[in-house]
Structure 1
Amino acid sequence: MPDEMALLVADVFEAAGALRRAGEAVAAAEGQTQARWQLMSAVSEQALTVPQAARRLGIARQGVQRVANDLTGARLAEFLPNPDHRTSPLLTLTAEGRTTLRKITARAEAAHKALAAHLPEHDLAAARAVLQRLTEEVRNQGAGQVRDPE
């Protein structure tokens, strides 16, 4: 009998890869990358420092710094003085960045509707519930806390 958990994990990674590639295509239609799109989204409601944005996105600060520099170079974002930390400025979107983010978001919403048209709503809700429970279980066990098989 196959190990259903191992198969589920493989399926989740496969789905994540497919969704990532689709996200890249959505962002590319507006001349952006998914990494830029994610960071623009992260700082769209509130200016954040690079370390804050990295924590929010769950990725390395160095990668976020590179993308932040790309966004500021493209005038989609800018660094503002941080009154709480002189050496860690706040990243915020420019007007052009907000316009670009709105365009990407509209494309993503259209793509999501097209995907959802082929999947019953109750199946989507059930999949979300299982993924949420799985995520919670993984968090409860803690990374690296798995016992050796006996």
Structure 2
Amino acid sequence: MAEELALLVADVFEAAGLLRRMGEGVAAAEGQTQARWQLLSVVSEEPLTVARAARRLGIARQGVQRVANDLVREDLAGFRPNPDHRGSPLLTLTPLGHATLERITTRASAIHEVLTADIAAADISAARSLLHRVIDEVRRYEEQAPAD
């Protein structure tokens, strides 16, 4: 079973690399990068601090801060006061940011339709279910593993 999981992990990394490369192309068509697209997307749901956005994306806060600053410079996002923490403003999308995200998302959706034309929805659902189980197990392991 461990060997099968190792092969699955390799497949997930390969798929992630291919999808990331494709995502860069989708974002580039709108003058953006995959990193900017991801941050636009995560703060479109609700305004977040840079630290919270970084946790949601699973990446370093410093990298998210650089991307956030770029989005603000381009008027795609802005910082607003955080009533819960004066020193950590909330990043929120501007109308231009929402429009840019919508165009990127529309492009991505069209590509997803092509990619999934010959894949049953049940197969995608089953794959997602399995990946969620693996994610849960990894998180459980991390919580129980002794610190080095």
* Residue correspondence of structure 1 range 35-114 to structure 2 within 5 A: 35-114=35-114
2:46 alignment partner, SS class: coil
Counterparts of 1:82 and 1:140, CA distance in 2: 32
Matching residue of 1:4: 4
- 79-88 vs 21-30, which deviates more? 79-88
- Pair member with larger Rg: 1
Q: Which moved more, 1:22-31 or 1:134-143?
A: 134-143
Identity %: 65
Q: Which runs of 5+ in 2 are unaligned?
A: none
Alignment-derived partner of residue 145 in structure 1: 145
Give distance in 2, aligned partners of 1:115 and 1:141: 33
Offset, 1:32: 0.5
- Number of residue-to-residue matches in the alignment: 145
The one-letter code of the counterpart of 1:18 is: L
Matched residue of 2:122: which SS? helix
| Cα distance in 2 between the residues matched to 1:84 and 1:54 | 18
The structure-2 alpha-carbon separation of the partners of 1:11 and 1:42, relative to structure 1 and needing over 3 Å to count, comes to same
Match of 2:127 in 1: 127
Deviation at 1:56, TM superposition (A): 1.4
- After superposition, what is the alpha-carbon deviation per residue over 1:84-132, rounded to whole angstroms, capped at 9, x for unaligned? 2222111111110110001011111111111110222232222122212
Alpha-carbon distance, 1:47 to partner: 1.2
TM-score when scaled to structure 1? 0.89
Amino acid in the other structure paired with 1:123:
D
